[in-house]
Structures are given as structure tokens and as C-alpha cells.
Amino acid sequence: AAAEKGGFEHFMLKEIHEQPEALANAIRGRLDLHLGSSVLAGMSTSQRELAELVRVVMVGCGTSLHAAMVGEYAFEDIADINAEVQQAAEFRYRNPIMGSRDFVVAISQSGETADTLAAVKEAHQKGAFVMSLVNVVGSTIARETGRGVYLHAGPEISVASTKAFTCQVSVLLMMALKLGRGRRFSREEGLKLAHDIGSIPLLVERVIAKEHIIAKIAEDYVDNEHAFFIGRGPMYPVALEGALKLKEISYIHAEGYHAAELKHGPIALLQPGTPVIAVACEGPAKDKTLGNVEECRARGARILGIVTEGDTDAEEVMDDYISIPRTHPLVATVPAVVALQIFSYHVARLRGCEIDQPRNLAKSVTVE
């Protein structure tokens, strides 16, 4: 087993470190740096059919659901199309209003999650245009959808998902780019975004290179039993995913909240020293996020910021910070989440937790 872990103490750490390569595999051959678009065989249908789609509905569970939430921002922003996320477990128990012009994307690392599979069946029945975004080749969901894009992230062993998430987000960005180029997104904008997506493996490598700094910061967060993660815009799902990672592997009670929602309730729980992890990278939502950070500071919270390199305004309001390279605000979700994965990993390691096999959790959940 030690050999399988390639010298790393845990599969999770190995998989965190594999991300530059996994991401390169997920992206390779899929960007069109001439047209400023992407080439996704699984999405190939007539350009007319794509142009006629009126809505993207993404379904998934757990970490895949958080990737879907980043996708929601990407599709609206880049492809100018109505996009929404539905929990796979809810999907068929409500009355999903949809037809042939709805584009349903089922997102699953394993391709075996029962709720997601059930959602796919329901969407088919409603006549939607269904596609999967799956890691495991030939898995049930991949077969059931018939059409899809594989992540090529390689096997993910750790129960807590890391590289699958970052590959899911990267592929969703490419899907949004493809759809966007058939709509309003110009070639020039497309080229710029394609370039930024192409740089994702390097951005992630640069975050991983800071592991020692992040591990040092983690030492100060080991003894807390509660933590809050906040963000806005595309960094909102990143905050949710950061909180999920921390609770899964360290058993610290972590809540992910929209930064603006904190004051509508959870802020009542802040006490001097309560950790608040604020994902405040550059983008349209940054200034407002910093405002929310001030609200937490005023209650004595200890703030760990995920900020953009060189952003002294953001650094100044944080007690500690981890900086990530500057890039497109949607692309930044990937390096930002990697910083949180590394943080959670080290907090859990210092707490002596069973990182690869947390209690009560399974890698794939095949019951509804």
C-alpha cells in the first residue's frame, strides 16, 4: 500500500499533488487556441442544436454538486445561458420542468452514485439533452447517458475528492466556453479564457509549491471545533467545498456560507478566535467579501484569507492568508480550492485523523 501511495503519507495527499498532471490530462487536446473555443467530442452535435438550448441543468451530489455550482456561474457568465444546479437526490421527486431544449449535465466522479443515476433517467424521460461528466470510464452513468466528457483525472482512491473536483470545474469551464462561442462570447474573449484555462495546471502547481507555508498556517487551526468558510460569486461554492473537505477529514464542524448570508444568522456563533476562512480572490465580488470579513473581524473572529497574489488590500484585513496566482475569476476557483484542500489535509493530519477513510463515509454511494 505504501508503494501505491507513491511515497506520500496518504492517498489524499498523493492525489492533491497529482493535480497538475490530472488537470493537464483533462485539458489536453480540448482547447482550440485558434478559434478561442474548446473541442469536446462528447458535446459534438450540430452547432444549431447547441444554439437552441435554453438552459443548462447540472445534477450531482457532494463534491460534484459543488463543481456544478461553479459551473452555474460559468455558464451564465461565459455562455450567457440560464444555468442551474439541482441536487440529484431531489431532482426526480420534484417535477423538473424540462424538454428537448434543456441541457442536463450529470456530474459524478465515480459514475455510480445512485441519486445521480436516477436523475439521469428522469431527465431522459423528460426528453432533455443529457450528457455526463464522469471520471470512471465505462461507469453506469457514463453508459446511461451515452454522451459525455470524461475527466481523465486518473483513479481517485481517497474518499475525500480532490483532483476529480478540479478536473470537473476545468471541464465545465471548457463546456461553457464551447457553448459561449456559439452565442455571444467573442473570439477575442474566447482566446483569453482558453489561455487562462490552459494555464490551470501551472496555477495549481504554484499553489502546491506553497504547501509548507499552508501546513504552517494549519498548525494554528488545529484546536478549533468550529470553523466558517465564506465566499461570494464563484468563490461561494469554493467556500462550501472547503468546508466539506475540512469536516470530512478533520471532523471539525465546518460551515460553508455565502459571505453575505452570514449576518442573517450564523454570525451569532462567532466568538473571539472562531476561525473564518474567507475566499476573497480578485473578481467582481471581492470588495463585498472584504466588507463581510470586516463584519467577522468586528466579532473577534480569526480570519484566514485566500487572496490573490499581490493584493495588499485583501492581505491587510486577514490574520493569515494564502495567496494564489492572478487569473480569470472563474479559473481562480481551481487554485483557490487547492489551497483549501492542502489546508484541510494538514489540519486533519495534525489532528491524527484517518484521512483516506473517514468514519461513516464511502467513496461512492450506490443507495438513494
> For residues 253 and 258, what is the distance between their CA atoms, to the nearest angstrom?
17
Instruction: Please choose, out of 33-41, 106-114, 280-288, 321-329, the segment that lies near ligand G6P by the rule CB under 6 A.
Output: 106-114
Among 31, 68, 69, 159, binds ligand G6P (CB under 6 A): 159
> Does 361 help bind ligand G6P (rule: CB under 6 A)?
yes
Minimum distance between the CB of residue 36 and ligand G6P, rounded to whole angstroms?
30
> Does 364 help bind ligand G6P (rule: CB under 6 A)?
yes
Instruction: Please choose, out of 14-22, 40-48, 110-118, 323-331, the segment that lies near ligand G6P by the rule CB under 6 A.
Output: 110-118
Q: Annotate 21-42 with b (16+ C-beta within 10 A) or e (fewer).
A: ebbbbbbeebbbeeebbbebeb
> For residues 56 and 47, what is the distance between their CA atoms, to the nearest angstrom?
16
Among 25, 37, 109, 145, binds ligand G6P (CB under 6 A): 109
Among 86, 140, 161, 170, binds ligand G6P (CB under 6 A): 161
Minimum distance between the CB of residue 106 and ligand G6P, rounded to whole angstroms?
9
Among 38, 63, 274, 333, binds ligand G6P (CB under 6 A): 63
363 included as an active-site residue: yes
**How buried is residue 268: exposed, middle or buried, by Cβ count under 10 Å (0-12/13-18/19+)?**
exposed
Minimum distance between the CB of residue 322 and ligand G6P, rounded to whole angstroms?
23
SS3 42: helix
> Does 51 help bind ligand G6P (rule: CB under 6 A)?
no
87 has which bridge partners? Answer: 60
**Contact residues for 367 (Cβ-Cβ < 8 A; gap 6+):** 114
Minimum distance between the CB of residue 238 and ligand G6P, rounded to whole angstroms?
15
Minimum distance between the CB of residue 192 and ligand G6P, rounded to whole angstroms?
30
Q: What is the DSSP letter of 77?
A: I
* Sheet hosting strand 55-60, strand order edge to edge: 82-87, 55-60, 102-108, 129-134, 148-150
Q: What is the DSSP letter of 284?
A: T
Of 116-135, binders to ligand G6P (CB under 6 A) are 116
Query: Residues in the site for ligand G6P, rule: CB under 6 A?
Result: 61-64, 108-110, 113, 116, 159-161, 361-365
Which are the catalytic amino acids?
Answer: 363
